[in-house]
Amino acid sequence: MSSTDVVEGYEISTDPARLDIDAMHAFLTRCYWSPGIPRATVERAARHSLCFGLYETAGGRQVGLTRVVTDHATFAYLCDVYVLEEHRGHGLGKWLMRTVAAHPCFTGARRVMLGTLDAHGLYRQFGFSDAYGSRKLMEIVRPDLYRAATG
């Protein structure tokens, strides 16, 4: 990652040992997409996903997340994307998305999906478009991805 891809005072890690399940649960339980979600469900979902945690450099407090459900080959579903309110406005969401978008689970997938009610503009910057017939689901479809790589 180049220095232009870093936001001073923060870091992104995929190390599952760094995830703060309590902090994730505290945020997710009050989101429109997961109100009241049980802590055990958050923990199980994190354990079976590729998580990109966003942390303050000083102290290591988790302040954001992108969770990716993926087979690490052909499909990825982005979910639980957030930056805590007091850390917004510094480009952290875009940095988090740039980091995820550069990961092989994303770049190698023929289909990448997500659901959103209010962040379409952010995701369009990373190639997402509205899924056919849906105002909530967005996707990136690359039907010829493997053909281009072998041909």
User: How many angstroms separate the first and last alpha carbons of the chain?
Assistant: 29
The pLDDT profile of the chain, 151 residues, written as one tens digit per residue, is: 333 478 999 999 999 999 999 999 999 999 988 999 999 999 999 999 999 999 999 999 999 999 999 999 999 999 999 999 999 999 999 999 999 999 999 999 999 999 999 999 999 999 999 887 777 888 888 777 656 555 5
Domain total of the chain: 1
Side-chain half-sphere CA neighbours of 82 within 13 A: 18
Residue 60's domain is classified under what CATH number?
3.40.630.30
Whether residue 1 is contained in a domain is answered as no
**Domain assignment of residue 36, yes or no:** yes
Class of residue 112 by CB neighbours under 10 A (exposed 0-12, middle 13-18, buried 19+):
buried
Token duo for residue 24? 């994730």
User: Do the beta carbons of residue 128 and residue 115 sit within 8 Å?
Assistant: no
DSSP 131: P
122 close to 100: Cβ distance less than 8 angstroms: no
Question: Residue 118: inside a domain, yes or no?
Answer: yes
How many other β-carbons are positioned within 10 Å of the β-carbon of residue 109?
23
CB 124 within 8 A of CB 97: no
Q: What is the model's pLDDT at position 134?
A: 77
Q: Which sign, positive or negative, has the C-alpha torsion 94, 99, 100, 104?
A: positive
pLDDT for residue 149: 55
In the block, which residue shows the tokens 């910057």?
Answer: 125
Contact call for residues 41 and 21 (beta carbons, < 8 A): no
The 10s digit of each residue's pLDDT in 59-73 is 999 999 999 999 999
**Residue 86 included in any domain:** yes
Task: Report the alpha-carbon distance of residue 88 to residue 90 in Å, rounded.
Answer: 6
**Residue 68 in domain:** yes
Identify whether 20 is part of a domain. Answer: yes
pLDDT of residue 151: 52
Please indicate, yes or no, if residue 2 is contained in any of the structural domains: no
pLDDT number for residue 131:
84
Tell me if 100 is assigned to some domain: yes
Query: Domain range holding 83?
Result: 7-150
